[in-house]
Amino acid sequence: MELTRQIKAWAREHGFDQVGIAGIDMGNAEARLLQWIEHGFHGEMDYMARHGTLRSRPAELVPGTLRVIAARMDYVSEDAGDWIDAGWESVRTAERAGVARYAQGRDYHRVIRSRLKALAERIAAAIGPLGFRVFTDSAPLMEVELAHQAGLGWRGKHTLLLSREAGSMFFLGEILVDLPLPVDSPVDDHCGQCRRCIDICPTGAIVAPYLLDARRCISYLTIELKGSIPIELRPLIGNRVYGCDDCQLACPWNKYAKRAVVADFDGRGLDQLTLIEAFSWDEETFLQRTEGSAMRRIGYTQWLRNVAVGIGNALASRLDGFMRARLEAALAARTEHPSEMVREHVQWALAQKPIAAAVSGSAPAKGAT
């Protein structure tokens, strides 16, 4: 117990906002995972099926594992201001390029892995030889389930981890260790009858409470999906070019979201990025603007695909003539792009026409459809 208390104190010194200890039995979660895969909800994320039960059996992933030290790191930066209002403003402004809040700072994989490793080495320095491996969204592990069992929160209806003290705006990481540490107690579900995340999802990806069809999720469509975005889903993506925060913006618990205690997640001005600027980037500019960011993982071609969809949706909104002409010109400049996928999405975007106002003469919201 004393060592556990010490580990949690050290974790805060290394930039983590909360740490808990979980066991390695995830039998119930394993059954749900296999059923989810059987329904095909993982889409083209073949690694989900390929790793199978390894995700729910930490001791098979790292032999000798007895416990999992689960850690939370908040990521809403101090410079984000009123990030909820800013998030909705970004969604409502058709010519803006929407980038999920978590991706606007430094790549969390690098930040958290290095800090977890430093924490593990500190534990080893205190107690002697220690078998450990560190992960953060980088191995076949059911991170949300482990964090739940470690007492960091409960699985919300949007399937993200939720905390009464910190909402859901945080990253998770784990240290798998061969120490028989005392485990923490799981947290009860506090979603109650609320279904705001379900109702707000633009594509209806949350098909039931606690059940996500990733094939419809905008984060999947803009990041994980490597090919053409299904035509029927393109209008629902709006101006979101990398990820989506809507379910988190709508969640009442996120009024308690904490600010990041590390500077790595400070913004890079991406919250003000416009579709025209994003589409004007050449590959060198894309690599420069996304250096050290999780955004780089999608590559330049996929970036252009996403932004083309955003521009098409902007053209389907009630914009003024000047902005419409600028957007159409931006698309026209890419009609001969070497990538067939980019060309196809550009042609789709050029074909989008304004949606008639529901009430004649009504004043439109800023850039809204």
Residues with active-site annotation: 137
Burial of 122 (0-12, 13-18, 19+ CB in 10 A): middle
How far apart are the C-alpha atoms of 244 and 91, rounded to whole Å?
A: 9
Choose among 148, 129, 206: nearest CA to 29: 148
Give strand pairing partners of 176.
68, 133
* 135 strand-pairing partners: 174
DSSP 73-84: EE-B-GGG-SHH
The runs of H, that is alpha helices, within 190-339 are 196-200, 218-219, 234-237, 246-250, 275-280, 283-289, 299-315, 321-332
Q: Partners of 174 in the beta sheet? A: 70, 135
Q: Of 256, 180, 248, 227, whose CA–CA distance to 18 is shortest?
A: 256
Distance CA 56, CA 27 (A): 7
Pairing of the two strands 240-242 and 98-99: parallel
Instruction: Report whether 116 contacts 175 (CB < 8 A).
Output: yes
- The one-letter amino acid code at 57 reads R
Residue 345 to residue 237: CA distance in whole angstroms: 13
Cα angle 124, 129, 131; round to 5: 85
- Using left for φ > 0, alpha for ψ between -120 and 50, and beta otherwise, residue 351 falls in alpha
Q: Burial, 180: exposed, middle or buried (Cβ in 10 Å; 0-12, 13-18, 19+)?
A: exposed
